[in-house]
């Protein structure tokens, strides 16, 4: 059947994500986790917390949808970087491994 | 744009490290040294101070000028220290008058005994050691981050290449069948963009429409998350494939009423549990398609046998057998409303909206290790989709089938109504109570006592009428029962 070039109504794509529950929750969880870890790292002066926060914010960024706000991503990223920097300024000793 | 931000932020890390490392060298230790050494020549008893200062020269390492000046001034003393300890005091006091040092004879002994004590090497804290080796954990972390970023870039590019390879392969077929290929919903007029719509680093959409029979077709290329290193590592444990999901929405008049699905057994079992329409209309377990010549890997879920008979024509069977390894599931449904919604108590009072839909889920061959060439093997599957659209339009149930189908749908609706009957009753009850309360409030708020009385009387009369009606009904029922 030939394609209809007549004035048959052509539709715009409907909202592709009508059900937000179906979306992958990973970026949101990772964002939250990253913020929690960076706060822990800042308050408790734990270096490994701050490093994990950096990783979390990277993972959240990699999994994010394009509709997501870049400002949110950047803020969590900057928070984790600042947690790392602050931990090292307060205590320049290198991190000791847990074993 | 995102990549740019990353690189700028990364530049901060080494910069901050360098700041942190060299800040501790701004001690005020140097000043003390000056004080001691200014008077070192004039104080004879300062052997201890003298012994210590050369050590201090060794540990701090900046200001070599200072070191050379002091060394020159204390050259003779240095030579003395190289000799045996006991001789130090003697050699120094010789050029001086003995009388001046009467009280100081113990001092050489004191320093002598001190010199015999073992020299304790102070444990210099790790961050003052000027070696990068002590920071190995940090270096490990940064390496890990760099690896993550590398993987992000590589994965993103690979997904991009796969998507465009798919599109280039399928472009011709799509453009010959659909008038509008590619639309991102932003333009006011419906013009083909001819491009994929990138939703994510691993999901690409394509909307096609402008064909007879169907409202439109949404193609989603759901690739694996190659840009996320965690996902890549997880996939090493549990292999998965890229998927192509196609959803064709049919016009109401172009499809008859039936629910039918075919696919891998595992997929059908999962869909039967998840999907609203499959769970309601296809109550049997997935049946084997061997009767029609389908391979064992595929199973069939159908509302009634007649639908299966109608669907399984020669061409469809040909498609299904030849490309069985790539087919995950195929679902034709006139009652499609998506997966079952998580219902809360008392919330659902209406059946979810349904749309006549054809759904296809295909697995890209390669199970993760796909190359752009693999996309060509998916082209026949697109032909199958087009064929299915036409078939769905042509296929009509006969009279018996239609009756059965209508009965099924009525049954489902009735069940739903029964379930929600209680809820609807409660909703109606609460609405009535609300009305009464509103009225009472109005009466109370009336300031004019006359009006108040009149409204109260009207309300009383209405209630009496209602009571009478109820009594009449009860009487009628009693009479009928008799």
The residue assigned the tokens 């036409």 is B390
Q: Is residue B408 part of a domain?
A: yes
Beta-bridged to residue B248, according to DSSP, are B217, B358
Q: What is the pLDDT of residues B439-449, one digit of tens each?
A: 888 888 877 78
Nearby residues of B369 by Cβ (< 8 Å), 6 or more positions away: none
Say if residue B338 is in the same domain as residue B192.
yes
Say if residue B211 is in the same domain as residue B311.
yes
Task: Determine what percent of chain B is predicted with pLDDT higher than 90.
Answer: 22
Compute the distance between CA of residue B60 and CA of residue B433 in angstroms, rounded to an integer: 87
**CB-CB under 8 Å, A3 with B126:** no
Structure tokens at A83: 């947690």
Q: What is the DSSP letter of B105?
A: S
Sign, CA dihedral B423-B427-B428-B433, equals positive
Say if residue B224 is in the same domain as residue B202.
yes
Sign, CA dihedral B395-B399-B404-B407, equals positive
Look at residue B159 in the predicted model and tell me its pLDDT: 92
Nearby residues of B251 by Cβ (< 8 Å), 6 or more positions away: B213, B214, B215, B356
Q: Provide the pLDDT confidence category of residue B32 given band limits of 50, 70 and 90.
A: very low
3-state secondary structure of A24: coil
**CB-CB under 8 Å, A55 with B144:** yes
Q: Is residue B2 part of a domain?
A: no
**Average pLDDT taken over every residue of chain B:** 78
Residues in chain A: 99
**CB-CB under 8 Å, A63 with B209:** no
Quick one: B124 exposed, middle or buried, by C-beta within 10 A (0-12, 13-18, 19+)? exposed
**CB-CB under 8 Å, B1 with A3:** no
Compute the distance between CA of residue B336 and CA of residue B356 in angstroms, rounded to an integer: 6
Among B57-61, B207-211, B259-263, the range scoring the smallest mean pLDDT is: B57-61
Residue B88 has pLDDT above 50, yes or no: no
Q: How far is CA B270 from CA B27, B285, B367, in A?
A: 69, 11, 20
Average pLDDT over residues B218-227: 91
Compute the distance between CA of residue B414 and CA of residue B404 in angstroms, rounded to an integer: 15
For B138, the closest of A10, A16, A94 (CB atoms) is A94
Residue B218 with chain A: CB contacts under 8 Å: 13-14, 16
Beta-bridged to residue B204, according to DSSP, are B198, B221
Say if residue B393 is in the same domain as residue B433.
no
Say if residue B440 is in the same domain as residue B467.
no
Q: Is residue B85 part of a domain?
A: no
Look at residue B255 in the predicted model and tell me its pLDDT: 87
Domain edge (last residue) among B373, B397, B421: B397
Q: What is the pLDDT of residues A40-88, one digit of tens each?
A: 999 998 999 999 999 999 999 998 887 777 888 899 999 999 999 999 9
Q: How far is CA B368 from CA B159, B163, B224, B234, in A?
A: 11, 14, 7, 12
Residue B137 with chain A: CB contacts under 8 Å: 94-97
Q: Angle between the B379-394 and B314-322 helix axes, to the nearest 10 degrees?
A: 150
Average pLDDT over residues B375-385: 89
**CB-CB under 8 Å, A10 with B201:** no
Say if residue B275 is in the same domain as residue B285.
yes
For A92, the closest of B20, B213, B227 (CB atoms) is B20
Structure tokens at B430: 């609460």
Q: Angle between the B136-177 and A47-62 helix axes, to the nearest 10 degrees?
A: 10
Q: What is the pLDDT of residues B303-338, one digit of tens each?
A: 888 888 888 889 999 999 999 889 999 999 988 888
Say if residue B244 is in the same domain as residue B380.
yes
Domain edge (last residue) among B362, B397, B432: B397
State the virtual CA torsion across A86, A88, A91, A92 in degrees, nearest 10.
Answer: -150
Give the residue on B whose Cα is nearest the Cα of A98. B137
For A19, the closest of B126, B135, B338 (CB atoms) is B338
Q: Identify which of B94-103, B198-207, B420-429 has the greatest average pLDDT.
A: B198-207
Q: Based on DSSP, count helices (H) and strands (E) in chain B, helices before strands.
A: 16, 10
Residue B180 with chain A: CB contacts under 8 Å: 10
Is the CB of residue B158 less than 8 Å away from at least one CB of chain A? no
Q: Is residue B455 part of a domain?
A: yes
Residue B204 with chain A: CB contacts under 8 Å: none
Q: Is residue B124 part of a domain?
A: no
Q: Is residue B419 part of a domain?
A: yes
Compute the distance between CA of residue B272 and CA of residue B388 in angstroms, rounded to an integer: 21
Q: Is residue B371 part of a domain?
A: yes
Residue B460, domain extent: 447-481
Look at residue A78 in the predicted model and tell me its pLDDT: 94
Say if residue B342 is in the same domain as residue B456.
no
Say if residue B435 is in the same domain as residue B472.
no
**CB-CB under 8 Å, B342 with A81:** no
Q: Is residue B10 part of a domain?
A: no
Give the residue on B whose Cα is nearest the Cα of A17. B199
Q: What is the pLDDT of residues B232-253, one digit of tens each?
A: 999 999 988 899 999 998 888 8
Domain edge (last residue) among B381, B397, B413: B397
Say if residue B183 is in the same domain as residue B243.
yes
The residue assigned the tokens 């108040």 is B452
Structure tokens at B336: 């499609």
Say if residue B315 is in the same domain as residue B291.
yes
Is 0.80 topped by the overall pTM? no
Residue closest to A49 by CA, chosen among A60, A40, A62, A59? A40
Is the CB of residue B242 less than 8 Å away from at least one CB of chain A? no
Among A19-28, B177-186, B335-344, the range scoring the smallest mean pLDDT is: A19-28
Number of domains in chain B: 3
Say if residue B461 is in the same domain as residue B474.
yes
Element (H, E) at B318: helix B314-322
**CB-CB under 8 Å, B225 with A59:** no
């Amino acid at each position: 059947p030939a394609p209809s070039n007549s004035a048959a109504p052509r539709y715009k794509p409907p909202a592709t994500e009508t059900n937000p529950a179906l979306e992958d929750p990973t970026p949101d969880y990772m964002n939250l986790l990253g913020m929690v870890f960076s706060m822990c790292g800042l308050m408790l002066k734990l270096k490994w917390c701050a490093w994990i926060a950096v990783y979390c914010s990277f993972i959240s960024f990699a999994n994010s949808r394009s509709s997501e706000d870049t400002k949110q991503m950047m803020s969590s990223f900057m928070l984790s970087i600042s947690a790392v920097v602050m931990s090292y300024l307060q205590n320049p000793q290198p991190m000791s491994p847990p074993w | 744009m995102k990549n740019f931000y990353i690189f700028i932020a990364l530049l901060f890390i080494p910069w901050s490290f360098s700041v942190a490392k060299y800040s501790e060298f701004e001690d005020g230790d140097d000043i003390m040294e000056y004080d001691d050494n200014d008077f070192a020549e004039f104080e004879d008893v300062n052997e201890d101070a003298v012994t210590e200062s050369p050590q201090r020269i060794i540990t701090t390492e900046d200001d070599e000028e200072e070191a050379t000046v002091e060394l020159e001034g204390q050259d003779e003393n240095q030579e003395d220290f190289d000799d045996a300890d006991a001789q130090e005091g003697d050699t120094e006091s010789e050029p001086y008058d003995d009388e001046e040092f009467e009280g100081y004879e113990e001092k050489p002994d004191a320093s002598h005994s001190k010199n015999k004590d073992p020299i304790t090497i102070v444990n210099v804290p790790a961050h003052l050691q000027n070696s990068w080796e002590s920071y190995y954990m940090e270096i490990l972390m940064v390496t890990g981050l760099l690896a993550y970023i590398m993987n992000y870039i590589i994965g993103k590019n690979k997904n991009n290449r796969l998507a465009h390879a798919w599109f280039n392969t399928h472009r011709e077929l799509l453009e010959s069948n659909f008038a509008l290929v590619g639309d991102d919903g932003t333009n006011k007029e419906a013009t083909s963009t001819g491009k994929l719509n990138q939703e994510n680093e691993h999901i690409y959409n394509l909307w096609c429409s402008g064909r007879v029979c169907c409202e439109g077709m949404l193609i989603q290329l759901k690739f694996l998350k190659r840009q996320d290193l965690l996902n890549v590592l997880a996939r090493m444990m549990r292999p998965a494939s890229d998927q192509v999901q196609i959803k064709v929405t049919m016009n109401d008049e172009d499809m008859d009423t039936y629910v039918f699905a075919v696919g891998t057994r595992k997929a059908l079992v999962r869909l039967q549990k998840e999907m609203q329409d499959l769970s309601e209309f296809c109550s049997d377990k997935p049946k084997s398609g061997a009767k029609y010549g389908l391979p064992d890997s595929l199973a069939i879920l159908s509302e009634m046998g007649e639908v299966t008979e109608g669907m399984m024509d020669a061409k469809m069977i040909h498609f299904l057998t030849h490309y069985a390894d790539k087919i995950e599931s195929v679902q034709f449904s006139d009652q499609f409303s998506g997966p079952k919604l998580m219902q809360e108590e008392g919330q659902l009072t209406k059946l979810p909206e349904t749309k006549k839909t054809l759904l296809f889920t295909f697995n890209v061959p390669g199970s993760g290790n796909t190359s752009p060439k693999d996309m060509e093997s998916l082209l026949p599957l697109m032909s199958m989709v087009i064929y299915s659209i036409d078939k769905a339009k042509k296929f009509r149930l006969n009279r018996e089938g239609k009756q059965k189908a209508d009965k099924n749908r009525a049954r489902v609706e009735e069940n739903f109504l029964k379930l929600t009957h209680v809820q609807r009753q409660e909703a109606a009850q609460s609405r009535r109570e609300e009305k009464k309360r509103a009225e009472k409030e109005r009466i109370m708020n009336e300031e004019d006592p006359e009006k108040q009385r009149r409204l109260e009387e009207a309300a009383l009369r209405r209630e009496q009428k209602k009571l009478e009606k109820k009594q009449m009904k009860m009487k009628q029922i009693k009479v009928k029962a008799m």
